[in-house]
Structure 1
Amino acid sequence: MKKYLLAGLLVWMPLTITLWVLYSVLGLMDGLFGSVITAAQAVLPWGPVRDVLEGLRRIPGLGVIVMAVGLLLTGMFATNIFGQWALRQWDRVLSNIPIVKSIYNSVKQVSDTLFSSSGNAFREAVLLQYPRQGSWTIAFVTGKPGGEAAVHLSGDYLSVYVPTTPNPTSGFFLMVPRADVIELKMSVDEALKYVISMGVVAPPMQQTALPENHIHVT
C-alpha cells in the first residue's frame, strides 16, 4: 500500500504544483489588469465606456494576454533609438528622486544583470566547501570581486552565489579563492535542477572532465 501511495504522489505532486503556480500567476495578472480597469473607469466616467470596461474585467485570462502584449510592445519600444533615449530620460528623472532612486537603481542593477541578454549572472557551476571543511555544495560563479572589496583581497578570488534548497532564489554571496573551487562540467540549468531537487535529479556524468580549478573568469 505504501509503495502505491508513494507512486501516486510522485505522479500528482509535480502536476499539482505546476497548476498551482500557473493559477497564482494568472490570479496576479488578472488582479493587475483589474486595477488598470478600475483606474480607467475613474478617468473615463462615460456610461457606455464604463460598461465596456466592466465587460472586459469579467473575461477570464484576458489580463494575461493584455500584459503579454504590453510587455511585447514595451520591448519593441525599448529596442529602438527613440525608446532608448526616452528610457534614459526616465531613468534620469527617477534617479533624482530621494528614496525612490535607492530602490529603483538597486532593482534595476539586479534585473539588468539577471535578465539582460548580454548579462552573465551565473557563468559556471562549481563545487565549494561550505559551510565548513569537508562539506561540499554547489555554487555559481558570478564574476570577480570589485571595488573596495577587491583592494583588501590579495590573490585570485571569485565571486560565487551559494543557493539554498529547494528555493534557489535565496542564498549567500561569497568571495573565495579561485583555488578553493572545483569547476563542474554540468550546465547551470542542470546544476539548478540538482539543487532544487535536493540532489534527487542528478545530471548525467560527462565523459570528459576538465582539470580542477579551471575557471574562465576575467
Structure 2
Amino acid sequence: MNDRPDRISLATRIRNNFLTGLIICAPLAITIWLTWSFIHWADSWVKPYIPSRYNPESYLKFAIPGFGLLLALVAITLIGFLGKNLIGRSIVGYSESILNRMPLVRTVYKSTKQIFETVLKEQSSSFKRVGLIEFPHPGTWALVFVSTDARGEIAAKLSENGEEMVAVFLAPTPVPTAGFLMFVPRSKLRLLDMSPEEGIKLLISAGLVTPEYTAAATSDAANAVTPPAET
C-alpha cells in the first residue's frame, strides 16, 4: 500500500520529463525538416538549368545542399540591380508589352505583379496590423489581418454614407492558407497591438499561444480606428 504513491509519483515524473523533451525536440525537428525540405525544393528547381561545367557537383563526389538556392538568390538580386537602370527598364518594359498581348497570360501576370508590388512594397502597410471584427454575428469576435483601405469601385459603392471601408483578411484555424476577404467599416475594426507574427501564432495554436500584453495600452490603435475629427 505504501509503494503505490511512489510508483504514481515516478510515473508522473517520467511523463513530465517526456513532455518536456517533446516540447524541446518537436519544434526543433520540425524547423530543421521544413528548412531542409525548402532547400531541396529550391535546388530541384534551379539545378537542372545549371550547365554541367558550372555545376560544382559535376566535379565533386557529393551533393552541395543549398547551392541552387544560393544561386537563385544571387540571380534574383542581380536581376533586380539590372532592372533599375535604363537598359534593364527597357528590357522589362518590352517583355511586359509582349505579355500584355497574350489574352490569358496578361491577366495572370498583371494580377501576380500587383500582389507582389503591394505585399513587398517598403512603404506598404499591408498585413502589418492585426484587428478584431464582429463575426459571424454581433458579440462574437474574429481575428483578422488588415490588408489596405478599400479603393476604386468598392470604396465608391460602400462608402456612400461617408465612412471609410477597410479590407481585411479573415483566416481559418489552424491552417491560415485560405480565408475570406472582407470589407468592414473602419469604426467596426478594433486594431490590436500584437504583431502579425504573434497573430499568426495565436491563430495556428487555436488561442493556446497568447502574446504578452501590458496594461499600459497605447492610444495609437484607437487613433487608427477612429481618426480625429477635423476642426
Partner in structure 1 of residue 204 of structure 2: 196
Specify which of 109, 113, 120 is matched with residue 118 of structure 2. Answer: 113
Within 5 Å, give how 1:22-61 maps onto structure 2. Answer: 22-37=35-50, 40=51, 49=53, 54-55=58-59, 59-61=63-65
Query: TM-score, normalized by length of structure 1?
Result: 0.81
- Contact between 2:189 and 2:225, CA under 8 Å: does it hold in 1? no
- Determine whether 1:102 maps to 2:110: no
SS at match of 1:161: strand
Equivalent-residue separation in structure 2 for 1:137 and 1:51 (angstroms): 51
Equivalent-residue separation in structure 2 for 1:98 and 1:57 (angstroms): 47
Equivalent-residue separation in structure 1 for 2:139 and 2:96 (angstroms): 47
Within 5 Å, give how 1:128-207 maps onto structure 2. Answer: 128-153=133-158, 154-155=160-161, 156=163, 157-206=165-214, 207=216
- Contact between 1:143 and 1:217, CA under 8 Å: does it hold in 2? no
SS at match of 1:166: coil
- Contact between 1:138 and 1:162, CA under 8 Å: does it hold in 2? yes
Partner in structure 2 of residue 15 of structure 1: 28
- Determine whether 1:68 maps to 2:73: yes
Deviations along 1:121-175, whole A, 9 cap, x unmatched? 2242111122232221221222222222223213322111112233333221101
Give the aligned CA root-mean-square deviation in angstroms: 2.8
Query: TM-score, normalized by length of structure 2?
Result: 0.77
- Structure 1 residues 174, 86: closer, same or farther in 2, change over 3 A? same
- Structure 1 residues 58, 88: closer, same or farther in 2, change over 3 A? farther
Equivalent-residue separation in structure 1 for 2:56 and 2:126 (angstroms): 44
SS at match of 2:77: helix
Paired letter, 1:144:
D
- Structure 1 residues 55, 102: closer, same or farther in 2, change over 3 A? farther
- Contact between 1:145 and 1:158, CA under 8 Å: does it hold in 2? yes
SS at match of 1:183: strand
- Contact between 1:112 and 1:119, CA under 8 Å: does it hold in 2? no
Partner in structure 2 of residue 44 of structure 1: none
Q: Which has the larger radius of gyration?
A: 2
- The structural deviation recorded for 1:53 is 7.5
Q: How many residues end up aligned between the 2 structures?
A: 209
Give unpaired runs (5+ residues) of structure 1. Answer: 42-48
Equivalent-residue separation in structure 2 for 1:52 and 1:60 (angstroms): 8
- Determine whether 1:210 maps to 2:215: no
Equivalent-residue separation in structure 1 for 2:181 and 2:55 (angstroms): 52
SS at match of 2:139: coil
Partner in structure 2 of residue 79 of structure 1: 84
- The structural deviation recorded for 1:31 is 0.7
SS at match of 2:144: strand
Give unpaired runs (5+ residues) of structure 2. Answer: 1-13
- Structure 1 residues 203, 213: closer, same or farther in 2, change over 3 A? same
